Each structure stands twice: as C-alpha cells, then as structure tokens.
Structure 1
Amino acid sequence: VAVAIDKSLPDEEIVSLAKMGDTDVVFVSDQYYEKVKKKATRKVYNLKDFDDILKEGRKYLKEGKNEFAGYEIIPEKTAAILFTSGTSGVSKGVELTNKNIAFEIVHTSMLFSPKGGTLAVLPFHHAFGLVVAIFMIMNYGQPIFINKSLKHIKKNMEEFGPQTMFLVPMFVEYFHKQIWLEIEKKGKTKVFKRLMKSTDLLRKAKLDLRSKIYSPIRQVFGGNLEYIICGGAALDPMYVREFRTWGIEILNGYGATECSPCTAVNRIYHHKDGSVGHLVPGIEVKATEEGEIAFKGELVMKGYYKNPEATDDALIDGWYHTGDLGYVDEDNFIFLTGRKKNLIILSNGENISPEELEQDVARDDAVQEVLVYDENGRIVAEIFPDEAHLGDTEYFEKLKSKVNKGRPIYKQITRIKLRDEEFIKNASMKIIRYKNIPGMMPAIDKKEDAE
C-alpha cells in the first residue's frame, strides 16, 4: 500500500501522517533524505533513497529477475492511502483500492485523446495530480514532463511545449492575469477586446483564425497547448470563455479524493459553461433534499483508514456525500452553488453562499484573493489586492458598490477589509477558511473539501 504525503508539510506533521498510515518504508529523494532521517524513528521507518532504488531496479532488470511479475493484484485490496487536504484542519486517510484507481484510469481515458505530452505541475500526493495527470497519461503511452518547481513553470513550458496540462484554478487565474498585464503594458487593452469579439463572431461563421491571431499567447505555454483540464476548485466561466477565444480549451472537472478523484468533466465537444462537468461513465450522482451532491459507484473509496466513524458519516448507503451544494441538470451536467458547511446563516433565517460573492469580487483585476464571511451579522469581504492597489480603500469601496448592485439587501457585502499578505492555503491551493477567518476554530466536519 502506498501512502502519499505532502513534502511541504511541517516535519512533525509528515511524521504524524506517516505513523497514521502505519508506514514501514519511506521513499524519499536525495533532497529530503537527511531531513526525514533526522525525524524518523528506526523502529518505525526503514529509509531508502530514490536514486539507490532506481539503481537497484536497473540491476534487477539487467539480471533478468522477475519475482515481482507474478504478484497477484486483488481488485478490492487497498492500493493507496491519500490524506485529504480539506480546510477543516483534520486529515483523514482515504483508502483507494486497485479497482478504484483502475476504474478511474479506464473511464477518464475514454474521454480524452491526449497527444504530444503533458507537463506535470500538480503534486503527486494530490489524487488529481497522480491518478489523472500521471496514470491516465501513462495509460495512453504519452510523454510526461515533470515540472522542476513552481518557479520553473514558464521555463519548462517553453522547453517541453505540452499539448495538455492538468491545473487547479489558481494556475489558470495566474496565467490569465499575466497575459492581460502584458496587453495593458502595451496599451492595447481596448483594441484586444475588440479583436476577441471579432474572432468569436468569425468562429461562429465557421472561420477560425485563432491559431494565427493568438499565436503569441499560445507561445506563453510553449506553442502547442490545446487543452487544460482544470479541477480542484470552482472556476469562473469567464476564464473558460476567454481561453477558448485564444484557442485553448479549458475542460473544467470535478471530483474528490474519496472518488479516486474525477467524477465529472466537460468534454471537448460536450460541455456547458458554468458546469463542473458531465458525469463520467459508470458512476451515479444525485442531489439530496438539502441540495448536497452525492456519488455512488466503483470510483467511491473503500473508506477512511482506521476511522470507521468518519467513514459512516461520509458513506451513507454506499453514497459518498461531498459536502458541496449544487444540482444536476437533465443532461447529467453538474453545477455547484457552494459548500454546505460554509453557508452563512443570518439571524433572519436567510442563507448566503460565500463562494457566490467571492466569485463576483474576484473578477476584478485588482483582487488577488478574497474571502467572504460573517462577522457579528455583517457580511465581510476580506481582500488581498494586487501591488498597485494595496491600501486603496476608495477603489474597493467602489468595487463593493458594484458587486452589491442589484442584489437583495441580505446578500450585500457590508464591509471591505484589506490585507497585505496572501491567505493561508492547503496543498491544493485552497484557502483554509478556519485559519483565516477571525475567531473561527477548526472543527471536525462530516465531510472534507471535495477536490
């Protein structure tokens, strides 16, 4: 059984998760060998260096040894334990079986035809970054280029020219912002927006000039990028539309570690803007009476490792309850409206989804990050602005009025707070609400954040 752990966690937490997963052997690259060795107890861990294992493996192949070739793979047996990276502050080990992972690879492979390789930028302890972005591409026999580090993404894209990339919304938003900043620097914003409208109209008339007109934008990604499969969090449909205009299709998907992870995804010729995707083959979906999205089928986890109470809470009659609110339309496309546990319940009984307000605020280019929450009955939008708007209260008061326009009074933002540093995030680059909202304490929730 493989137990995947985030290398960026504090040393104590790495050791704690390794113990929680009952690990016998820790595989580390040379870069982290000494760090882990200092914290590990010999009674618990037998450390191996990756380079040594690779050398040993090559030696085995050369000598013709094949004792592992006949190893029996039992479909129902646990293959991996992946720790949830939700925002409630309590990690749980998700047990994925051989069948779960194989089912995910086969069924997601039916939806795409990747060619020309991909650049892997998501962490391998992340179910999306491992099962979909690595295993699925391996199933196609296509090359995978491993990103050296986040600061090398631009350089690596230029070097490898990937055709497909698997990203979380943070990356899409970052690339989008950088592209528009370059356009603004050249004083071409109005001209470029008119050009985008024109090319969209021409495309509707079956005249597609995007590859020629937007070639400089495609060069930012190495020149070959055709598809971005995006998951891990909600993505504003505006990004999908604008990237499509530039000739790059964003296929928004949805899932959870507990579902191996992908349960829905938009296809190249079968998509709906604003949706997190169409249900993948072989899995069932429903929205409960409360509006919570739930899944059932071969993708759903075996359970939480050594945590029967959490398993019973999450799996009800075989249905995994995601904690996400939304609905399923008549074509089996899934739409999300918010998080069940994040709902702001006002004293008048009205419910507000903070994600709805956050999405509208985040559309402004001056907003890097935003978090909406209730503070003594007032709806607060706390904003981390871009460098040019740090401390610019007047600008954000105008933005508040713009966002509130046309909204019911109970859904209006009543206060803006500005901050000068990023919000604390988890490994999936989601803002951890309880660590950022004043006075909010971590609580054990029935559901972890869907990935």
Structure 2
Amino acid sequence: MQTTSVPALIRAAEVSRDQTALLAFTAHGLRRLSRGELLDTATQLARTFRDAGLGRGDRIMIQAPNSVEWVVIALATLINGSILVPVDAQMGAADLAHVLADADPARVYTTAALRQALPASLPARIIELDTLTLPAPDAPANAMPDATTEAAVAPEDVAAVFYTSGTTGPPKGVPLTHTNLTSNVQALLEERIAGADDRVLLPLPLHHVYPFSIGLLTVLTVGATLIMPRSLVGPRIAEALGEGEATILLGVPRLYEALWNRLESRLTGGKAGRRRLLHGVIGLCSTLQTRLGHQPGRWLFRPVMKRLAPRLRLAVSGGAALDPAVGARLEALGWTVATGYGLTETSPILTLNAPGEARLDTAGRALPGVALRIVDGEVRARGPNVFAGYWNNPVDPDEVFDAEGWFRTGDAGRIDDDGYLHLAGRLSSTIVLPGGENIDPERIERVLNAQTAIREAGVLETNGRLAAVVVPEPDSEGDPQAEAEAAVDAAQGELPGHHALGDVQFSADPLPRTRLGKLRRPHLARLYEDLRAGTRRVEQRPIDPEDMAPEDQALLADATAAATLQYLTERFAEHRLTPDSRLSRDLGLDSLSWVDMGIALRERAGVELGDEAIGRVETVRDLLQEVIQADLAMGDDDDRAGQSLIQALQSPEALLGDADRRALAPRGPLRHGAARLALGGCRLLNRLFARIEIDGEWPEGGPYLITPRHASAYDPIALTAALSRERMEPLFWAGWTGLLFSSAWRRAFSRVARILPIDPGAAPRRSLALAAATLERGHSLVWFPEGQRATDQALQPLRPGIGLLLAAHPVPVVPVWIEGTQHVLPIGHVIPRRGAIRIRIGPPINPSEYGDDRRHIVECVGSALNALGDEDRSNE
C-alpha cells in the first residue's frame, strides 16, 4: 500500500472537476459545490494561511457544527501542512480548557455563539464562521494542490489531532499522520463500498475521526457526493435523505435505533397487535433473505421506505457496536447494512463487515493491511493506520503498546476460524466480583435496554455487587418507574444468577454518553452515588446540554429548537426541565395555553405548528422536533413562510375543512325549530333560577364580537336573557370542544345552538379560522376571551387569540361583565340554585380605538372589561 499525503490522495482521484462534491442543506437553502470549486477554494485558503505565517505543524482548531466552511478549512489546513484540531462544538468548559492548553492552537475557527466559551486571554487568533467569507476559487484548473504545497506535506507528518471523548478522564489528543489516514481510506476503497455515483449522507459531527475519515476523506477520494444535513436532528436528516437522494447513510447505532423506532411507531401506531404482526413479517423476511439470498422486504416495504429514503441502498454503522437485531431489521426492510470496528487511535477502522457478507453478530474481518491478534483475551492491532502515541504523552507508551509494538485496544474479544472478530466489551469495564466472576456490563445492559419500559440502563459495580442506573421510558401508559421496576425484574430472569443486580437507582435524566453514544462510565458512577445519596438535584433548573443524550444535544444545534428551548426555560423557570418533561402533566400546560405557546413560537422561533403537529407533542423533546420540522416545511414554501398567522386568518376559508363549513352553514327547518326549543329551555331555566338585571344596550347592525367575562358555565344561559330572538338568530358562540362536543348529544345540541368547536390545544389555527370565517360571513360571535372560568372576583388574563382574531378582522367589540352566575352554578355543580345575576353591556370598542396591534387589542378589551367590573362593584 503506497504511503501518501491526504491532499495527494484526493488529487489522484480520476473524477471530473464538474462532479458535485458537496451538497449542503443550510438555513439559506441548498448549497452545492463542484469538486473543482471545493478544492480550488481550499487551496486558495491554504495560501492565505501561508501568507499569515501559518506553516507546517501549526495547529488550526475548528470548534463549530458541520458546514461548508468547516470542510474547506479542514482541507486547507491539510493542504498547507498544518495540523487540524477538530473539537466538539458541545464540549464542556473544563474539557475545552484542557484541549486549548494541550493543543496550543495558533488559530481557532468557531461561531459567534460558541466564542463566549473561549477564554478572553487565548493567544490564538479567533475567527467566527458566521461572518467568514471564503476566498474565491480562482486557482488554476489543476490547483489541488500545487507542487510547492504538495512537497511541503510529507506522509509521516501529523495531519490532525483528534481528542478522545474523555469517557475515563480528560480528553487525550490522538495525533494521526497523513499515512495513518490515507492507509485506512485506501483499505476501505479496496472493499468497494462506495463509487463515484454514490451520494453519501453524513449526519454526524466531523470532529470525530469516524465521520471525518470515512465520511469526508473517503467520499472525496472516491469522487462521490457528500450530503450534509442542515443539522443533526431527525427532521433535517429525513429532509436530506429524501431531497438529497442519498444512496449511502453513514450513521451510528443510536441513529439506526431511533430510525427503526420511528418506523415501527408509524407502521403500528403503537398498537401491540400491529407491532407483533410487523415483527412477524420482519422475521419472515429475514429468514427468506438468509435462505434464498434475496431481500423480499425491498419490494414489500418499498412504499414506506420510498417516502423515507427513495434511493438509499446501504446503511453503514460505526462508532459503537450495532445491535444485531436492529441491523437484521433494517436489512429485512430492504437495505444492506455494513458495520465496522475501530478506535480513534486506529484512524479509525480495524475490521469491516462488508456489504453482502456481513455477519452482524460479529465486528467483521480485518481490513487489508491490518493485523489483529488476541493476547490474554485482549484485541491487539498493528498496521499503517495505527497511531504512534498520544499528543504530549499523557500515557506511558508501555501501557499503549506491548513489547512487540502491537497496540493494546483495551477491548476483549476472540477471532473465529473464518477470521471474524467477536467483541466482548471493554476490559476496563469488566466487573470482577468478590467470588471471581468476570461480568460484562454491556451484556446486562443489552437485556435491560430490550425492555419496552426502560429507555436506557447503565451497569456498574459498588461494594462488591452489581448495581444499575435505569432511565424509565416516559411514554409508559402507567407509572413509568413502577413499570421500569417490573421490567428490571423481568430482565433479571433472562440472565444467569451471578448477573443479579443488588441495587437499582432510577434517573429522570439521560445517562452520560459521548456524542457517538458511548457510555461515560466514570460519570455513571458519580450519577449512581448522587441518586443513592439523594443529592442528585431534582429541583427546578434549566436543561444543561451536558446532561442530555447525544441525540438531544443535536437538537440544540438547530437555531429553531434552541430558541424554543430558551423560551421554555424562561416560561417554566419554576419547573425542572428535561427533554422528557411532559408539557401537560409536568409543566401544567393546559389546552388553551397553546394559543399563547403558538404566538411565542412564532415570535421567538419563527415557526407555526399545525394542528396535527400540536397533537403529536407530549414532551419537550417532541416539541423541539416538531418546531424543527415546521421550520423545515416553511422553508419549502417561501410564500407560506412569509405569511403571519394574522395574514392567514384574513383568508380563513382556505384554512377550513368540509366539516367546518357545514358548521357555518345556515340552519335547515328542523335545526331552526330545535334551536327555538333550546332557546325556550334556556329562558325557562332563567325564570326558575335567576333574577337577571340587564344594564346597557346592544349596538345596531353587525357583525360585532361579544366578549363576556367568564364566571360560570351558566354564563351563556344567562346571556340569552339579554338577547332578543332576532339578535340570537344570526349569532354564533365559541365553545370548548372538551365540554360541548364530548358526547353525541352534546355535539347535536352544539350544532343546533350554533356553537363552534374551539380547541386551542389540538387545533388553535382551525379554531381561530372558524371564528374569523364567522365574522367574515357577517355573523356576530360570542367569544369568552379569558379562555377559562374565573376562580375569584378578578378578571383572568385574556388569551392572545382575541388579538389575532381582531387584527385579522377588525370589527366592533362589545365587552360584557357578568356577575352572579358563579353563585347560581358554582364550579363542580350540575344543578343551578336560585340567585341574582347582573349583566352589564359596555359601549362598543370601535376598531379605530384598538388599532391593529394584537397586544394592544388584548389590552383594550381587558381594560374595557375591568372598567365594567369596577363600575359594577361601585354600584353594589
């Protein structure tokens, strides 16, 4: 295998300069760079590095999310002979300080948001990618790289220093030479995993060597197209899978587990019977595939998979071990699965389960040029891809390499007769009990994680016995912790007796993991001790990204999700927030509060959630995913994205369905007669139970919006006493679906009484559209602006829906103060009792008085109602 530098290897590829090299989904649209544009721009930037005095061996750090600029800076650094130091954009403050001191970079590229985490005294020059302008690609046609630059880059030079994730201590710098990286790339190319016609989707952060080497360098070398999603979250990945027409997906096990769970949920709707049927079909497809060598799932599930990823053929998993069951399910769906094993120190791949010959219960066979052997149960490796030692030697070389120069991987394993490697977990994680039993904690964790009531589990040793930290599945139908406890008992029945857990602690927060999903076991031990001692903080506090699972951390890389989370943190400052916090149960968000939430999301995050999306939201995580999806959908339709909700309500008919239009249709003779009977019933109740005093007059003409104070469920009945039959005829009422449409007879009564189904929780846009259409058709409308019954004498805060409605359709507003109904029919009572009721009709508020600012509209209506209440109390 010929040794060479990264720039020379990429330059040697026989690929057209016009071939699309990079397809990036960004906040400003799709960004496409040809191979010539990408390499020329990188070469130009390398020249600016030289002009600035940056040369061979100088460290250039990038701490930022994936972007076109990230890729260009990385390539320019390698072309220039400098050393690339890619750093996790979400690295904690302590680890970041250590890396900065250890790497001593001459230049740091970051973002404006991340810059504040850098020390003010940092001697390196700091450049923000947000405002960076890349040099124009005006280099000569053969510009990658020129002879002078190439000569300055020797294969034995360090190309990059990757910092380990710090699962067992501070991050260690892993220097990889150009030979380390290119030898691994060349070995992978010999396996013919990808070709120049492939389009490879990379939903992983480039600061890890796995996506950097396999996802960037290998793709550029083979001449394929690299697709980068806008951010590393589900909706953005789905967008890039479909619109990018990806043929290969490069992921980690947690991504594929989430992908399978999402597919399973969509196909089964959460029904146990459907889930069993799906698993049966999947099992049958796997059996036929094994026996016949064909993939029946490719055509059986084609309609589903076509919507998700129309051209995807290969799913590559690395970074951690893929659950063989998940891999088998993906293959049963029609994809081919390939997996690999390796470490940062091995650049990174040691073994590969190649497409078409993968044995997913193993780690695969050694790559060409890689030698493996097992010594004392440990996997040891040698080859041109293996590094020579850590940066600044924080570890004794004798602990890293044996006497013959073989790298100690720290993984337990064996090699079978066919050359396939079988791994048995990290030797450092193996638990030795007092009785001498060697326990692989990952085995217990796999059994626990297979339980539906357990989201994740981590196993450790404490005081000579096994213990675990378990995160219950919050979507359990009953008590999550009780169901998780039962699941632990069930899982223990599947394990040998010496694997029994002596203690289990339950955590509401995700377990500490690296960005690639590896469990941070020292952090797990600290979490266990905190939970056991009761010192784990459970009081209110904002979400700390370092406490979040990697996939949840990725959500915050999206600006829309980050803005939404910031709003939630401010609004629910008195609550303890986690990604699993339920908006209703844990945060007390009632259905009517969704109107407030919708306005805030529009103002703070720039998105609007549709009715179906709101119906899917249960947890904070759901909300973050939905706002990302909504932002994505708005970006697909520039005209729609430019409309505010007010503008949409100015044409409300377009937002209505057939059922809505029927609700607004004129009454027929039968319903007209039933309405007169219903009105007569209301007036009979008033004569029996209420002495009603009415003060004020209704305005002439219409339409107008009647906004009564809401004190009791008896308010609408009392209000009929103040309305003549002629005024009642064209009048509509806004009624909450949870009360007035909760049964067949109530729905029938509501249709007769012309009560509109208003549900701000599940359908705020539809509710407001119904009200707007009512006014637009010339009908007056009764709308209780508080949204809920008062519990005292004071007016409740008005919901913002009235501001949106009147901003879109400015009509006169008639404030009405109702007093006494709370005594006639108190909350919790169904039978009225005798009492006096006063109805005070205020002077109408003309549109010229409240203007078109929705906040000012709410204030004006609230002030008018309070004025009526003060007047009423002064007359008592």
Decide: shared fold, TM above 0.5: yes
Contact 1:372/1:381 (<8 A) preserved? yes
Please report how far the alpha carbon of residue 26 of structure 1 lies from its aligned counterpart in structure 2 after TM superposition: 1.6
Q: How far does residue 394 in structure 1 lie from its aligned partner after superposition?
A: 4.2
Cα distance in 2 for partners of 1:33, 1:417 equals: 35
Aligned 1:20-35 pairs, distance under 5 A: 20-28=102-110, 30-32=111-113, 34-35=115-116
Match in the other structure for 2:209:
127
Q: 2:300 aligns with which of 184, 206, 213?
A: 213
Higher helix share: 2
Matching of residue 167 in structure 1 with residue 251 in structure 2: yes
Per the alignment, do residues 310 and 426 of structure 1 end up closer, same or farther by CA in structure 2, a change over 3 Å counting?
A: farther
Pairing 1:83–2:163 present: yes
- Displacement of 1:293 in angstroms is 0.8
Name the aligned partner's letter for residue 320 of structure 1: F
Query: Which piece of structure 1 moves more, 152-161 or 172-181?
Result: 152-161
Contact 2:448–2:456 (Cα < 8 Å) also in 1 = no
2:393 to 302, 307, 314: 307
After superposing the two structures, state which structure 1 stretch, 201-210 or 91-100, moved more: 201-210
Cα distance in 2 between the residues matched to 1:391 and 1:134: 45
Q: Which residue of 1 aligns with 2:379?
A: 293
Structure 1 Cα separation of the partners of residues 313 and 505 of structure 2: 39
Q: For the structure 1 residues 437 and 33, does the alpha-carbon distance in structure 2 shift closer, same or farther, using more than 3 Å as the test?
A: closer
Residue matched to 2:347? 260
* Structure 2 Cα separation of the partners of residues 375 and 186 of structure 1: 38
Q: d(CA) in 1 for partners of 2:511 and 2:107?
A: 35
Is the contact made by 1:118 and 1:163 (CA closer than 8 Å) also made in structure 2?
yes
- In 2, Cα distance between the equivalents of 1:343 and 1:176? 30
Q: What SS does the aligned partner of 2:386 have? A: coil
SS at 2:137's partner residue? Answer: helix
SS in 2 for 1:150: coil
1:156 to 2:240 alignment? yes
- In structure 2, what residue type is equivalent to 1:117? R
The verdict on how the C-alpha distance between 1:7 and 1:68 changes in structure 2, with shifts beyond 3 A counting, is farther
2:277 to 182, 188, 191: 191
TM-score computed with the length of structure 2 as normaliser: 0.47
Q: Which has the larger radius of gyration?
A: 2
Give the Å deviation of 1:186.
6.5
Identical amino acids, percent of aligned pairs: 22
Deviations 1:305-339 (A, max 9, x none): 11164433212232111111111112221111111
**What amino acid does structure 2 have at the position aligned with 1:178?**
R
The AA in structure 2 aligned to 1:91 is: P
For residues 12-411 of structure 1, the aligned pairs below 5 Å read 13-28=95-110, 30-32=111-113, 34-35=115-116, 39-41=119-121, 44-50=123-129, 55-56=134-135, 58=137, 69-111=149-191, 112-114=193-195, 115-151=197-233, 152-185=236-269, 187=271, 188-203=274-289, 204-205=291-292, 208-219=295-306, 221-289=308-376, 291-307=377-393, 309-316=395-402, 317-389=404-476, 391-405=479-493, 407-411=495-499
| Closer/same/farther in 2, CA of residues 93 and 213 from structure 1, 3 Å limit | same
AA at the equivalent of 2:523? K
User: Do 1:75 and 1:99's aligned partners in 2 also have CA atoms closer than 8 Å?
Assistant: yes
Supply the distance in 2 between the matched residues of 1:337 and 1:170 (Cα, whole angstroms): 19
Deviation at 1:227, TM superposition (A): 1.4
Unaligned runs of 5+ in 1: 442-451
Give, in whole Å, the separation in 2 of the partners of 1:170 and 1:353.
20
Aligned pair count?
A: 437
The answer (yes or no) to whether the contact 1:271–1:278 under 8 Å persists in 2 is no
**1:87-116 deviations in whole A, cap 9, x for unaligned?**
102211111011101101110111113443
The one-letter amino acid of 1:432's match is R
Task: Work out whether residues 351 and 363 of structure 2, in 8 Å CA contact, stay in contact via their aligned partners in 1.
Answer: yes
**One-letter code of the match for 1:232?**
G
* Cα separation, partners in 2 of 1:418 and 1:25, compared to 1, 3 Å: same
Gaps of 5+ in 2: 1-82, 530-876
Q: CA, structure 1 residues 391+318, in 2 after alignment: closer, same or farther (shift >3 Å)?
A: farther
Residues 357-389 of structure 1, C-alpha deviations (whole Å, 9 max, x = no match): 101111223322110112333322322122223
1:279-315 CA-partner distances (Å, limit 9, x unpaired)? 10101111111x1111011010021111164433212
Contact 1:176/1:239 (<8 A) preserved: yes
CA RMSD of aligned residues (A): 2.7
Asked whether the equivalents of residues 282 and 332 of structure 2 are also in contact (C-alpha less than 8 Å), the reply is yes
Q: Deviations over 1:215-254 (max 9, x none)?
A: 2442464222221211111222101111111011221210
TM-score by length of 1: 0.88
Residue 418 of structure 1: CA displacement? 2.2
Ranked by relative contact order (alpha carbons within 8 Å, sequence separation 6 or more), the top structure is 1
Deviation at 1:426, TM superposition (A): 2.1
Report the Cα offset of residue 393 of structure 1.
4.3
Shift in Å, 1:50:
4.5
- Partner residue in 1 for 2:514: 426
- Kept in 1, the 8 Å contact 2:444–2:495? The answer is no
Letter of the 2:267 partner, please give it.
I
Contact 2:200 2:247 in 1 (8 A): yes
Does the 8 Å CA contact 2:511/2:519 hold for their aligned counterparts?
yes
More strand by share: 1
- Report deviation, 1:428: 2.4
